[in-house]
Structure 1
Amino acid sequence: PPVEVGDEWLIYVKTALDPQDRDHLAIEPHPLVAAFLEAARQLGFRLRHVQCEQAPRYWQRRLPFVQEFEFKPASGPFKGRFDELEAIFFVSEHGVEAILEIDRKARGFAGLLSEALDMDETLVRFTYGPSDVASLAQWLANAISRYS
Structure 2
Amino acid sequence: MPESATETLTGKPSVLFVCVHNAGRSQMAAGWLTHLAGERVEVRSAGSAPAEQVNPVAVEAMREVGIDITSEQPKILTSEAVQAGDVVITMGCGDACPIFPGKRYEDWKLDDPAGQDIEAVRPIRDDIRRRIEKLLADLVSA
For the aligned pair, the TM-score class normalised by the smaller chain equals 0.3 to 0.5
TM-score, normalisation: structure 1 = 0.32
Higher strand share: 1
Higher helix share: 2
